[in-house]
C-alpha cells in the first residue's frame, strides 16, 4: 500500500487557534504533520498564512476556505493561487440533500461551479457530513449526486460516511475512490451527538478505510476531530502517532 502524507484540518483546534494561531501551527509542526488544511485564516492574509506554514516546514495540503459558492468564485480562484493549491472545496447542508428534487438542484449548482473553476485550472471537491449518506428513494443520497455531477471530486469524511454505523465506511470510500484525492480520517463511538476520540481509539476500522482508497488518486490523509472530550491537541498528537507508527500515513518525524 502506498503510504500517503498526513495533514490536519485546523477546524479541530479552532478554539486554541483563535487565541494563538501561530502557536498552534508550531505545535502541529512539532508533532510532525506534513500539511495543514485551513478553515479560515484567523486574521492572517492567505499569503501570510502560507508563509507561516511553509516556514514551519509544512505545506498547505488543501483548504476549506473560502468555501466555494456561486457568488464567490473569483475570491476562490484568487485564494487558491495564493495558497498554491489546485483543489478547492464546497459542501452543503441537510436541506440540499433531503429529497431527489433537492439533490438535483444541488447538482445543478455544483456542475456550474465545476465548469467555471475548471476554466481557471482548479478542481472542485465536495466535503460531506452524515446526511449525504442517508437514503433517498432507497439509495444513498451521495450515489445519486455523484451520478449527476461527474466532474466533481470528493473529500470523503470517513466517519460521517459511516453514518453512525448504518454504512460500512470502507465500502463508501471504495465506491468513490476514482474521484477522491482527500480523506478525512476521524474516529469515535459512532453514536450521534457523541464526541470524537483520537484516531485509533474508536470504532472505525481505520486500516480498512484507508486501504479502500485508490493510491493513484489519493493525495492526503487529513485528520479531523470535530470535537473531543479530552484535550484536543493531545488527541491530534495521538492520531498522528497511531497513523504513522502503523505505517498508515507518512509524517515528518
Per-residue b/e over 18-41, b at no fewer than 16 CB within 10 Å? eeebeebbebbbebbbbbbbbbbb
Domains of the chain: which residue ranges? 4-250
Split at pLDDT 50, 70, 90, the class of 153 is: very high
List, for residues 123-148, the tens digit of each pLDDT value. Answer: 999 999 999 999 999 999 999 999 99
Widest CA span in the chain: 50
Q: What are phi and psi of 157, to 5 degrees?
A: -80, 105
Structure confidence at residue 117 (pLDDT): 98
Q: Which pLDDT band holds residue 95 (cuts at 50, 70, 90)?
A: very high
Residue 1 has pLDDT above 80, yes or no: no
Q: How far apart are CA 107 and CA 97, in angstroms?
A: 10
At 229 the pLDDT is 96
The mean predicted confidence, pLDDT, of the chain is: 97
Task: Assign 250 to helix, strand or coil.
Answer: strand
Cis peptide before 245 (omega within 30 of 0): no
pLDDT at 252 over 90: yes
Give every CB contact of residue 214 below 8 A, 6+ residues apart in sequence. 177, 178, 180
Bridge partners, 8 (sequence order) = 36, 223
At 212 the three-state DSSP class reads coil
CATH 3.20.20.150 fits 4-250, yes or no: yes
In this prediction, residues 86-93 reach a mean pLDDT of 98
Note the pLDDT tens digit of each residue in 208-224.
999 999 999 999 999 99
pLDDT band at 47 (very low <50, low <70, confident <90, very high): very high
Q: What is the pLDDT at residue 246?
A: 98
Amino acid at each position: 500500500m502506498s503510504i500517503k502524507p498526513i495533514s490536519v484540518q485546523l477546524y479541530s483546534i479552532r478554539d486554541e487557534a483563535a487565541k494563538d494561531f501561530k502557536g498552534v501551527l508550531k505545535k502541529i509542526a512539532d508533532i510532525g504533520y506534513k500539511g495543514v488544511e485551513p478553515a479560515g485564516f484567523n486574521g492572517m492574509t492567505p499569503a501570510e498564512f502560507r508563509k507561516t506554514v511553509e516556514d514551519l516546514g509544512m505545506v498547505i495540503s488543501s483548504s476549506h476556505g473560502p468555501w466555494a459558492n456561486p457568488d464567490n468564485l473569483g475570491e476562490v480562484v484568487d485564494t487558491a493561487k495564493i495558497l498554491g493549491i489546485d483543489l478547492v472545496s464546497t459542501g452543503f447542508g441537510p436541506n440540499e440533500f433531503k429529497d431527489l428534487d433537492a439533490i438535483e438542484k444541488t447538482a445543478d449548482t455544483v456542475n456550474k461551479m465545476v465548469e467555471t473553476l475548471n476554466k481557471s485550472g482548479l478542481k472542485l471537491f465536495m466535503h460531506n457530513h452524515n446526511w449525504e449518506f442517508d437514503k433517498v428513494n432507497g439509495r444513498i443520497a451521495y450515489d445519486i449526486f455523484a451520478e449527476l455531477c461527474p466532474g466533481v471530486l470528493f473529500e470523503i469524511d470517513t466517519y460521517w460516511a459511516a453514518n453512525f454505523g448504518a454504512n460500512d465506511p470502507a465500502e463508501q470510500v471504495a465506491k468513490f475512490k476514482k474521484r477522491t484525492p482527500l480523506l478525512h480520517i476521524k474516529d469515535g463511538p459512532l453514536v450521534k451527538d457523541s464526541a470524537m476520540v483520537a484516531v485509533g481509539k474508536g470504532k472505525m476500522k481505520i486500516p480498512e478505510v484507508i486501504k479502500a482508497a485508490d493510491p493513484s488518486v489519493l493525495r492526503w490523509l487529513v485528520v479531523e476531530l470535530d470535537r473531543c472530550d479530552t484535550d484536543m491537541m493531545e488527541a491530534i498528537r495521538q492520531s498522528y502517532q497511531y497513523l504513522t507508527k502503523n505505517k498508515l500515513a507518512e509524517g515528518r518525524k
